[in-house]
Structure 1
Amino acid sequence: MMLRSASAQIFRQAVRCMNTDTSLILERSINRVQLLGRVGQDPVMRQVEGRNPVTIFSVATNEMWRSGEGEVSSTGDVSQKTTWHRVSVFKPGLRDVAYQYVKKGSRILVEGKLDYGEYVDKNQVRRQATTIIADNIIFLSDNVRDKI
């Protein structure tokens, strides 16, 4: 039974591919990010003329490792690298909650997608920007959870 349904599914996909223009076929792909860290600064809300407002803040994540022989019980020095991530929230309800409750130092989990873009800075220099477009924020700091 399972083999028959799998064969039928493959046949339907093959027929669908033969009957459609190949330029219209879209492959499934995933652009998903999860960040667990601390907020670097209180959020700001910006609005570019003709566009919806956006709440922007940064999140720091830390990576730690021990230099030495690589053994768990190694007595080598512990090193840490902090990476800062720019988070933008466009989703209307979430945007407002983030602006009101995200605070510097809060521990949060951000889920969303990566976005790469360009902008021109105040000195007319073209810059690259990497942003996490958030579609979910989970507050992990006790004092924030109690307020929501």
Structure 2
Amino acid sequence: MLRNGAAQVFRQLVRHQSTDTSLILERSINRVQLLGRVGQDPVMRQVEGRNPVTIFSMATNEMWRSGDVETSPAGDVSQKTTWHRVSIFKPGLRDVAYQYVKKGSRVLVEGKLDYGEYVDKNNVRRQATTIIADNIVFLSDNIRGKDQ
């Protein structure tokens, strides 16, 4: 409790004593949690002079009933699948994911959203949304390494 009070006093002090508005400390959150299935076996890529990255796709599903639920209790069930690109830069997690995540695995991915651009092979500039994972929880029963 004392820590929280001290932190609040510090924040107030920084806000009131600073004449430069760029020094105001402000808290923000960029967190994502996805629960779904892996769409492809992970690949590890390395661009020259940079650390390697493990990448895989992941699907999440949204389901809903359409129609009048009162007259037709079963209703028509509709489903939408959304695909996500997951990138892992953290050295230990990157290697574990590369070895143990496989197509069809059910996983919980925690991380942050990242928006970027890239130029495809036809020299067309494209937008890309990526989940930068900092934690993965394996939920499938059949976890096996790539060599097994």
1:98, 1:87 → 2: CA distance? 11
On the 8 A contact 2:84/2:131 being kept in 1, the answer is yes
Q: TM-score, normalised by structure 1?
A: 0.86
Q: Deviations over 1:65-91 (max 9, x none)?
A: 0101255x7232100000000000000
1:9, 1:57 → 2: CA distance? 39
Match of 1:18 in 2: 16
Mapped pair 1:56 → 2:71: no
SS in 2 for 1:99: helix
Match of 1:135 in 2: 134
TM superposition shift of 1:22? 1.6
Alignment of 1:1-148 (within 5 A): 13-20=11-18, 21-70=20-69, 74-144=73-143
SS in 1 for 2:56: strand
TM superposition shift of 1:11? 6.1
Q: Deviations over 1:47-104 (max 9, x none)?
A: 0111100000011000000101255x72321000000000000000000000000000
Quick one: which amino acid aligns to residue 16 of structure 2? M
Larger deviation, residues 34-43 vs 20-29:
20-29
Quick one: which amino acid aligns to residue 117 of structure 1? G
On the 8 A contact 1:55/1:90 being kept in 2, the answer is yes
SS in 2 for 1:94: helix
2:100, 2:49 → 1: CA distance? 26
Percent of counterpart pairs with the same letter? 82
Q: Which runs of 5+ in 1 are unaligned?
A: none
On the 8 A contact 1:33/1:132 being kept in 2, the answer is yes
On the 8 A contact 1:68/1:74 being kept in 2, the answer is no
2:10, 2:141 → 1: CA distance? 51
SS in 2 for 1:15: helix
